[in-house]
Structure 1
Amino acid sequence: MIENTQTLKLHDIKDIVEIPDNSFLFLVLISIFCFILLIILIVFVTKMIKRKKPNRRKEYLSNLKNIDFSNSKKTAYEISKYSRLLAKTPREIKLANELIEELDKYKYKKEVDKIDKNIKAKLSTFMESLDV
């Protein structure tokens, strides 16, 4: 009698059903999402860092505005250096070259006179033409 009950199939219990496993697909999708998010974050941070960098042209213009005219030779070299660095457009380059030619008489001598008003006027014209 015991054998007979073991071989009988129970009708109210269903067979084992296979459940689909999508965990690998979810892992791949989450990994791709995280990778895209990481790239966006890196781009955003690099743009923020680039925005924070000091503007060299503004520094050069500030140096030109604050030039000390007491030492003519040193002043001539500084004006030449910063005007070359700042000149970008053809008009600015032309004004800078004219200014540098005027300053040549102050550069290569042992003792020089004070910088005259004509050069100061050209310097202010050059500085007004700059777009910084």
Structure 2
Amino acid sequence: MHGRVSTATVTALLRGAHAAVITSLGFDNQPMIAMEAFAEGRPALVSDPVLAAEFGGATLLADDTDAEGLAASILRLAADRRLLEGPARDARHLAAEVAPPRTPRRRGGLPSRGRRPTRICPA
């Protein structure tokens, strides 16, 4: 547990991890950390079967909803990281599907940054 951290720290932690672990059960309908993990190509190990169904192949469902089931799943994944390959691939695909569209500036539809915005009210 890291407590409150910046977005950059979350990204760095995810890049250094093999997967995100989400222990929410029955109340977290779409945790942001799952989307952040998927954006970094990391699958999520979840305890909640509803979350597993929500995110499909980008998740791994723990053996059981209790701490022992989660621990057993973590140990199995640590022993055979190849089990993460398919879900990681699905995580990248899911992230690409749900990413917001590119902004007009990135597409070249807005003026360059060098131009100042037009003032509606005179100064």
TM-score of the superposed pair, with normalisation by structure 2: 0.31
Give 1 or 2: higher strand fraction. Answer: 2
Structure having the higher Rg: 1
TM normalised by structure 1 equals: 0.30
Relative to its length, the structure with more helix (as a share) is: 1
